[in-house]
Structures are given as C-alpha cells and as structure tokens.
Amino acid sequence: MSQKFPGRLAVQQRVLPHYRAPLFDLLAESCMQGMSLFTGQPRPIESIKTAESLQVAQLIHAKNRHILSGALYFCYQENITDWLKRCDPDALILEANPRYLATPAAIKWMRKRGRPIIGWGLGAPIRSGILAGFRQKNWMRFLNKFDALIAYSQRGADNYAALGIPHDKIFVAHNAVAPRPDELSPRPAPTYPATAIFVGRIQARKRIDHLLQACASLPEDLQPNLLIVGDGPERERLESLGQDVYPQAKFLGAKHGAELISLWRRADLFVLPGTGGLAVQEAMAHGLPVIVAKGDGTQDDLVRNGNGWQIPPDDLGTLKETLELALSDLPRLREMGVESHRIVRDEVNLEKMVEIFVDALNQTIS
C-alpha cells in the first residue's frame, strides 16, 4: 500500500473482537502521525473474544455502560471527549450506530475544531410499521452528521444512498478478516467421496444440525466425508446427533496453523449453513468454493455464481438441493475454487479494506 493518511487518526469501537486487531494495526501503519483506538468490553452474554493489545495502534480502554437489551439496547462509553483531547486527532472514525450515546459528544468536539468525522457501519435498516417514517428521518438526521460513510458491503452502501446520502460521500470497504493470500498451490485431482468442511464456533445459529441432516439425505454416491472443525456450546449435542444421523461426520475440535491448513487442503467444499462465521474468506483463500447462508450483506461481495452459492438461512430443503448440485460435479468445484481465491486475492482482503479507509480519509480531509 503506497497511499498514506498524513495526519493522526482516532477510531472508536464499542468492542474490539480479536479478528479486528490485524485491520487496525494495518490501518495504523498507514497513518503517518499514528492512530489511537478507543474501545470497551462486551456484555458477558455476547461471548465475544476480544483483543487486549495492539502491535502498532495505540489502544485506549473505554468504560462501556450497557443499557437495557434487545431492541432497547444502548451503550454509553465514558470519557470519550477526554480521550479526544489527549489524542488530538486530525480525523475521527466512529461506528455509525445511533444507539451509542457518546457519539454526539464526540462529533461536537470534532466539529468545534473543524475536523472531519467518518461513520463506519453495516448500513441503515429499512424501517416498517406505524413509526417507520419518523424512524427513517431520525436515521437520516444521524447519518448527515458525518462527512463521509464507509459501508461494510455494497448492500450497506445502497442502504445509505436510499436515505439520500450523496454517492460521493459513501465508500465501500468490503469486510475482510484475512490478508491478501499467496498464489494458489495446485490441488490434487478430486475423487469421490468428496470432502466437505465446516470451520467455526459450534453454536445453534450455525445450523450444523441441518448440515448433518442434508448430507444424510443425499444419494449415497454423493454423500461426502464431513469435517466439523471448531468447538463451542453445542458440540456435545451435535456430535451425538451426528453419530445417529450421519456417522461419516468427524468432529475434530478447534484447529489452527499447520493443522488447519492441512484440513483446508483436504477439502473440496466449504459449507456454512447458518448465520455468522468468519471462515468464509479463509476457505476462499485456500481455493474452496463455498455454500453460505445469506446474512447482513457482506456475503454478497464474497459469494457469487462463479465461486459458490448463497442460500436462505434455516432452509434445510435448499441446503440439500445445493449440496447435491455442488457435489455432482467435482471438476466444476475445482474451477469455482480458483475463482474464490481470485476474489480474496484481488478484491476482498485486509490490504484492500485499509486502502478504502485511507482513500476516504484523504478525500474527506482535503
């Protein structure tokens, strides 16, 4: 990355998940006067593994006050303006979420000094119901406080545009959790039975139960070796279910480093039948086609006709049909895996994500 941000940057996050640490360190390397990150702790029920330190960026621990829950949840981060006074940034990036009650104070502090503020978020939800118009206007009022907006996905950018945000104020930094991969090594010729792999936290919303049932319903000659990699609260229950429903499934526990790379090399197809999951991009970096459930829009930028399938979440029938389609043509799967690798090499990776952040900063500050 040759482009740099010439000033000092401040970034606010409610929490710092461990997988975001490489992004912020890489972004800090692109800030010539340094970068400070202000972040607090999640609620215990969220089970978010957080990063406790950064290698390049300055990490400032905030005190998060969590208020209510569900649709009524709000978060207040104490002393945000004290942090800004100490940091004295040339630009500020905030999470574009009106539920974070310290945001107005941070915006006011920057406005008094004539310095730009960028919002970063998933997009603006489409409202419905009796108060939809009022709530949409509140979103528009909130978003218009920012000098620019960075969306995680094209869908999020389209949401912002639909609310009247000018296109030249919207940037798309495709959500990435891994660096640009090396060139793809040749894979062995595919043979039956194929190997399908799931990698991630084993929890109910990942719908591994559907994956077991879908594999069991396939024609016998298409039933894959199924590798379930990861750990979590549902592992014992699902392992028992697997013994009854699909004994070919192997629950391998959490794997990292060389062990996980070896498993990626053995696999022909990555499957994520439920929501969430950070392993999609990693699977693609290892040259795998993917089947993933539709989610917040970030999947749209990764998963296309040329490299995989998006399916509705909680739809066992569609999962079974898609697995049968995928596993019926293994040479085609190899070609789709090559396209997966190209997408994460050229379009969706940490380096590309940071480039968009730096571009947004430089355009906004100028």
pLDDT of residue 128: 65
**Six token digits for residue 165:** 């945000």
Q: What are phi and psi of 68, to 5 degrees?
A: 55, -160
Domains and CATH numbers, the chain: 9-177+349-365 (3.40.50.2000), 195-346 (3.40.50.2000)
The residue type found at 109 is: W
- pLDDT attached to residue 129: 65
Reported as type and span, the H/E element at residue 155 is: helix 154-162
Strand order, beta sheet including 117-121: 58-61, 35-40, 9-15, 91-95, 117-121, 148-151, 170-172
Whether the bond between 331 and the residue before it is cis, its omega within 30 degrees of 0, is no
Q: Torsions phi, psi of 113, nearest 5?
A: -105, 5
In sign, the C-alpha dihedral spanning 230, 234, 235, 241 is negative
Contacts of 282 (CB under 8 A, 6+ apart): 177, 178, 199, 264
DSSP lists the bridge partners of residue 309 as 291
Do the bridges between strand 58-61 and strand 64-67 make them parallel or antiparallel, or are there none, so unpaired? unpaired
Distance separating alpha carbons of residues 34 and 29, to the nearest angstrom: 8
Q: Does an H or E element contain 357, and which?
A: helix 350-365
> Which parts of the chain have pLDDT scores under 70?
1, 126-132, 296-297
Name residue, tokens 């379930």.
228
User: CA nearest 199: which of 288, 328, 77, 102?
Assistant: 288
The reported pLDDT for the residue numbered 172 is 97
Residue 198 has a pLDDT of: 97
How far apart CA 146 and CA 116 sit, in angstroms, is 8
> Running DSSP on this structure, what letter comes out for residue 221?
G
How far is C-alpha 232 from the geometric centre of its chain's CA atoms? 19
Beta partners for residue 66, in sequence order = 75
What pTM did the predictor assign? 0.90
End-to-end CA distance of the chain: 20
Helix axes 208-216, 235-245, angle to 10 degrees: 10
Neighbour tally for 249: CB within 10 Å: 24
Give the residue among 153, 132, 151 at the shortest CA–CA distance from 143: 151
Residue 121 and residue 296 in contact, taking contact as beta carbons nearer than 8 Å: no
What count of other Cβ atoms lies within 10 Å of the Cβ of residue 289?
A: 26
What's the longest Cα–Cα distance across the chain? 68
Cβ neighbours for 111, distance < 8 A, ≥ 6 positions apart? 117
Neighbouring C-alpha atoms within 13 Å toward the C-beta of 313: 14
Torsion, CA 122, CA 127, CA 131, CA 134, rounded to 10? 60
The long-range contacts involving 155-160, CB below 8 angstroms and separated by at least 24 positions, are 155/123, 155/296, 155/297, 155/300, 156/121, 156/122, 156/123, 156/124, 156/296, 156/297, 157/123, 158/123, 159/123, 159/124, 159/125, 159/126, 160/123, 160/124
